[in-house]
Structure 1
């Protein structure tokens, strides 16, 4: 059974009220939803919004026309939730980053915040794939599988996004030295 077929089978089971299928959908797609949300909102908000996105999506599962379309659909639900949250919230004054407790220095935190700000300034397609790769730790094939993008699109987005990220960070580094 292909990944698309497996996802469609889980969605069909979830529509029938199978709680185990709902749990498996959540475990499988929560990193993608969280990664998409991080492209728009602070870390703490992304945690809460991930739960909200699944509540909304599972409540609207009957509206999904094709079970196999779930990956792209859940990503679009996440984007809408993030944009709604951003409209309701005050502008970001800082970027909330959680680093591992051991060895995270103030400099590490500042670097992580600087990189995430730079990623958030990228076009949406690059921002999302980079966060899914760099923050959520998903591989290119996993990103494709869980978002509904083609593997080729993911490779292009990662390649172009990394190039733009390197350029943005280099420009900021230059500005900091001046």
Structure 2
């Protein structure tokens, strides 16, 4: 099931208590929720908050007026959860851990963290779409479908975001003298 009609059908079935539909919603939208969260908080916190966002969404699914609005609605819930987490005096986990399966070298992980910090410094629209594309690996059309943005907005956000990211990273390299 893809697209708006697939999402609408999954939401309708989840509202009716279909556990399989709830699982499909989770599998389909978890990368988006995780990516939105990761654009604000540490990796370990984003992992934990992803579960919280889905628990909240499933508890409040009856409040959703239109099934087709689910993508934008769950993104708003994720954004609120991330902003709430940022307001807390300490991170949820207190530690930022990378997945144990990460085979990259220390230098690769350092570079990835530096890039993620640079992405987090960008405006929200660019930050979120870049994380969804570069970290979560979603295509432009997948980002549009799963966030409720138009394909044109996603293309513009990715294009402008990449340009700003290149500038930020280049400035950082100039400051380091490399």
Which TM-score applies when normalising by structure 1?
A: 0.93
With over 3 angstroms needed to count, the CA separation of the structure-2 counterparts of 1:72 and 1:105, relative to structure 1, is: same
My pick for the range that moved more, 3-12 or 167-176, is 3-12
Native 8 Å contact 2:37 2:79 kept in 1: yes
Q: Please report how far the alpha carbon of residue 59 of structure 1 lies from its aligned counterpart in structure 2 after TM superposition.
A: 0.3
Mapping of residues 1-178 of structure 1, within 5 Å: 3-90=3-90, 96-98=97-99, 100-102=101-103, 104-177=104-177
The CA deviation string for residues 70-123 of structure 1, in whole angstroms up to 9 with x for no partner, is 0000000000001111111437x9865448543x22211111111000000000
Runs (4 or more) in structure 1 with deviation over 2 Å come to 93-102
CA distance in 1, matches of 2:61, 2:113: 36
User: Secondary structure, in 3 states, of the residue corresponding to 2:90?
Assistant: coil
With over 3 angstroms needed to count, the CA separation of the structure-2 counterparts of 1:6 and 1:82, relative to structure 1, is: same
User: Secondary structure, in 3 states, of the residue corresponding to 2:5?
Assistant: helix
Which TM-score applies when normalising by structure 2?
A: 0.93
RMSD (CA atoms)? 2.0
CA distance in 2, matches of 1:43, 1:145: 24
CA distance in 2, matches of 1:105, 1:162: 24
With over 3 angstroms needed to count, the CA separation of the structure-2 counterparts of 1:6 and 1:54, relative to structure 1, is: same
CA distance in 1, matches of 2:120, 2:81: 16
CA distance in 1, matches of 2:97, 2:125: 22
User: Secondary structure, in 3 states, of the residue corresponding to 1:146?
Assistant: helix
Q: Which runs of 5+ in 2 are unaligned?
A: none
Native 8 Å contact 1:96 1:113 kept in 2: no
Native 8 Å contact 2:44 2:96 kept in 1: no
Native 8 Å contact 1:39 1:128 kept in 2: yes
* Count of residue pairs brought into register by the alignment: 177
